[in-house]
A and B are shown apart, each in its own frame.
Chain A
Amino acid sequence: MITVAGVVKRFGSVGVLDGIDFAAEAGEVVAVLGPSGCGKSTLLRLLAGFERPDAGEILVGGRPVGAPGPDRAMVDQSSTLFPWLRLRDNVAWAPRAAGAADPLAEADRLLEATGLSDFADALPATLSGGMRQRGAIAQVLATGAPVLLLDEPFGALDAQTRLAMHVWLRDILARTRPTVVLVTHDIDEALLLGDRLVVLSRRPARVAARVAVELGRDRGRHTTTDPVFTGLKDRILDLLTPA
């Protein structure tokens, strides 16, 4: 579904990505980990089509990425819900732009599925951080895009809320089965949500390791004490903090 091959990106004289290769099958969740500032957000912006690579190739669904397109939807580190619209109208944005017959009905269905129905009429500023991020994900799910690009979607939340969000997102993803690239620097998040991990090195980033996460489908709080989980976490910590 997604192929990233030999991607290089520089900003002026600053090399950010230095030959990145990875792939994601349809319906797979690939978690991208790496030290802060190594170029994870840049990689996602390339996938979304907001930036162009200086070298290499990015294919989504077999076609090269040139510009933002309806097959790829992205959620940022901080919610980008439109502050002047109620949550329902925010979620209805994509169906409305696509000319859906009843965008509000589609929004209501998604709000129901994401457990946000009670807040449909709230303005984003009156929601908690966790609800805003869930709202932003619901807004993006409404595009029906087969590829979701998530950039530290829960990065601004506290640890307990984040765990609840992980369980919530696993459930949503299991039902909608999009192909996901999830950027994070939270190893627990990567291991709870990812089918495979791509670990990047310091800037200019290269792929330091690719790790298959063999933890089964049913993951939750109990998973974090599983020996497989702790073993993987140890290994990744070593990769991210070289001696």
Chain B
Amino acid sequence: MQPDASASQQRLLAPSGARARSAPRGWLGLIPPLAIVAVWAAVTATGIISPRVLPTPAAVATAAADFLFGTSTTTLPGVVRFEGAGPFHIAASLRRLLVAFSLAAAVGVPLGLALGLSRRVALLLDPLVQGLRPIPIYAWLPLAFAWFGLGEGSARFLIFIGALFPIVVATGDGAARVPRAWVETAVMLGTRRSDLARRVYVPATLPSIVTGLRLGLTLGWMSVIVGELTGTRRGIGAMMFAAREVGRLDRVIVGMACFALLGLGTDLLVRRLTQRFTRWALT
């Protein structure tokens, strides 16, 4: 589970009065990151740590502004652009993620449901899923190159693999744990066997599916950077590797911040879009 999920669970377990009282203290969470930036500024300004090892916050802020709003000076072909190329790289990474993640969801949710609901499917496919799941995403890299070549195809394949397994496993787990009582009640109330999936299993599994999608999204973002090791010239990861090669750690940190914000943003989006279907599981 992500730390963020357990924190929100704890908030839900707190009495509603306490929750309401603690809500305005959201700014408390800003203290640690601000403190880190302060320490960071202090150690870099005083020269305790060389800017080659850790650039100053100001340098990173300048790089960020450059990345987003600057005008490009390099026009050489084959060079990964930086100045003003922020929107371009961000869009490339986001698009890559969304395409591969959507495909992973489209495959993973039905596969997970089938695994969770059918003993026969589970007997057939569970060993395969459990066997492939522990393979680290980096370990797929050589195969990805061999199958899809350098570039976009490989990147998408790696993100797909990264996002797929959490979605399959969480969905399957949720579907397998739908209480028998709900199914019996539905049957007793006259539901046809053929309607049980649509009326009971899918709605009952939705909260697990959402958990799977959120985990899949996180793992998908982690795989984006691996995917962008595959020689593509577009994307935040591509920019970061190019920056590292010329020793521009300020630009690397800008890339990290981009990943953080994109990860948060897309997770928030998934939660917003699915809230309606999963609220019941939280009360």
Contacts and interface: CB of A to CB of B under 8 A. Distances in A.
Interface in A106-134: 123-126
A123 B283 contact: yes
B283 A125 contact: yes
Given A68-B184, A84-B203, A84-B206, A143 B280 contact: no
Interface stretch (A90-98, A192-200, A209-217, A227-235): A90-98
Contact of A143 (B184, B189, B206, B283): B189
B190 A143 contact: yes
A106 B145 CA distance: 61
Contacts of B281: 83-84
Given A123-B283, A125-B280, A74 B190 contact: no
Chain B interface main SS type: helix
B30 interface: no
A142 B184 CA distance: 16
Contacts of B184: 50, 68, 80
Interface in B266-283: 277, 279-281, 283
B142 to A, nearest CB: 45
B185 interface: yes
A48 B189 CA distance: 11
Contacts of A78: 181
Interface in A130-145: 139-140, 142-143
B135 interface: no
B190 A83 contact: no
B143 interface: no
Contacts of A93: 186, 189, 191
A126 B16 CA distance: 13
Interface in B188-211: 188-192, 195, 200, 203-204, 206
A84 B191 contact: no
A73 interface: yes
Chain B interface bracket (under 10, 10 to 19, 20 to 34, 35 or more) = 20 to 34
B182 interface: yes
A34 to B, nearest CB: 22
Nearest to A78: B181
Interface string A46-81: 001010000000000000000010101110101010
Nearest to B179: A80
Interface residues of A, number: 25
A78 B185 CA distance: 12
A22 interface: no
B280 A139 contact: no
Interface in A8-25: none
A46 to B, nearest CB: 13
A143 B190 CA distance: 8
A48 B279 CA distance: 32
A70 B191 CA distance: 10
Nearest to B188: A68
A48 to B, nearest CB: 7
Nearest to B200: A82
A139 B283 contact: no
Nearest to A81: B185
Given A73-B188, A94-B189, A97-B189, A82 B195 contact: no
B58 interface: no
Contacts of A76: 181, 185
A97 B190 contact: yes
A84 B189 contact: no
Contacts of A80: 181-182, 184-185
Interface in B22-77: none
Given A94-B189, A97-B191, A126 B204 contact: no
Contacts of B191: 93, 97
A139 B189 contact: yes
A139 B186 CA distance: 11
Contact of B189 (A73, A123, A124, A125): A73
B20 interface: no
B187 interface: yes
B182 A94 contact: no
Contact of A126 (B189, B195, B283): B283
A143 to B, nearest CB: 6
Given A82-B182, A97-B191, 5 more contacts: A50-B184, A72-B188, A84-B203, A123-B283, A124-B280
